[in-house]
């Protein structure tokens, strides 16, 4: 497994070798710093803790700041752990977008856009009721359960509620270009989150 912390810049389109338009998402990958190394002997598993994006020391609480100071590193705004990281790294090493050279597909994780409180038609794709001819049933969800038995609404029933703002992973996105000069990664298709949202890019688990 290899991966980095990046920031979604937005979407654009490029032309492939055959002249077809390919929609791509541009992910900016600043140099990630290895903050800590998890080992099977001490932690029970193997992983790297990566840090990205500079952070003023005055804006960090002391326990958070301490893990950087004891290793002589500059504090970072975002910390993420990536398990089973390939290669031999130590705290202070830097990892950039060049780690994806030769990789064809990636998985991208991010926090989806928050939509607030939404009804069942938007949240779950319900078709709704008739729009006219005297109908009084338009966008409501209808019945949510039975009467005497079980006399309650079952857990997991699709209802209105808060939508979005959850961790989402989009798998098997094809890498269109690795721009080492600008530190950018172009992947085919959309990735979760708003512009400037933090994303974790790792080599695809299910597709090579």
Question: Domains in the chain, please, with CATH?
Answer: 3-142+156-203 (2.40.30.10)
The percentage of residues in the chain with a pLDDT greater than 90, rounded to a whole number, is 93
pLDDT surpasses 90 at 26: yes
Mean pLDDT of 30-38: 95
User: pLDDT band at 128, cuts 50/70/90?
Assistant: very high
Tens digit of pLDDT for each residue in 96-121? 999 999 999 999 999 999 999 999 99
The least confident of 34-38, 141-145, 177-181 is 141-145
> Residue for token digits 């989009």?
170
SS3 193: coil
Q: How far apart are CA 9 and CA 161, in angstroms?
A: 29
**What global pTM score does this model have?**
0.89
pLDDT attached to residue 208: 83
Q: What is the mean pLDDT of the chain?
A: 95
> Helix or strand or coil: residue 108?
strand
Q: In whole angstroms, give the CA distance from residue 80 to residue 73.
A: 16
Per-residue model confidence (pLDDT) at position 83: 94
pLDDT at 50: 97
Q: How confident is the model over 171-192, as a mean pLDDT?
A: 96
pLDDT in tens, 129-175: 999 999 999 999 999 988 888 889 999 999 999 999 999 999 999 99
Residue 4 pLDDT greater than 90, yes or no: yes
Distance CA 151, CA 144 (A): 11
Residue 74 and residue 140: Cα distance in Å, rounded?
Answer: 53
Mean pLDDT of 181-197: 97
CB atoms near residue 130 (< 10 Å): 10
Is it the case that residue 38 has pLDDT exceeding 90? yes
Query: Which residues lie across from 21 on neighbouring strands?
Result: 15
């Amino acid at each position: 497994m290899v991966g980095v912390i990046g920031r979604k810049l937005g979407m654009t389109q490029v032309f492939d070798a055959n002249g077809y338009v390919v929609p791509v998402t541009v992910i900016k990958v600043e140099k990630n710093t290895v903050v800590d190394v998890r080992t099977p002997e001490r932690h029970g598993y193997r992983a790297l803790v990566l840090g990205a994006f500079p952070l003023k020391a005055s804006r960090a609480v002391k326990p958070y700041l301490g893990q950087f100071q004891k290793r002589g590193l500059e504090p970072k705004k975002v910390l993420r752990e990536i398990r089973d990281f390939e290669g031999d790294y130590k705290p202070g090493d830097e990892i950039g977008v060049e780690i994806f050279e030769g990789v064809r597909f990636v998985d991208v994780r991010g926090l989806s856009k928050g939509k607030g409180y939404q009804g069942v038609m938007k949240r779950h794709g319900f078709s709704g009721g008739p729009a006219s001819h005297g109908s009084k049933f338009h966008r409501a969800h209808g019945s949510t359960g039975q009467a005497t038995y079980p006399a309650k609404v079952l857990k997991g029933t699709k209802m209105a509620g808060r939508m979005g703002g959850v961790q989402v992973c989009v798998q098997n996105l094809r890498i269109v270009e690795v721009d080492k000069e600008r530190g950018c990664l172009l992947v085919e298709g959309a990735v979760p989150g708003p512009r400037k949202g933090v994303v974790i890019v790792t080599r695809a688990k299910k597709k090579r």
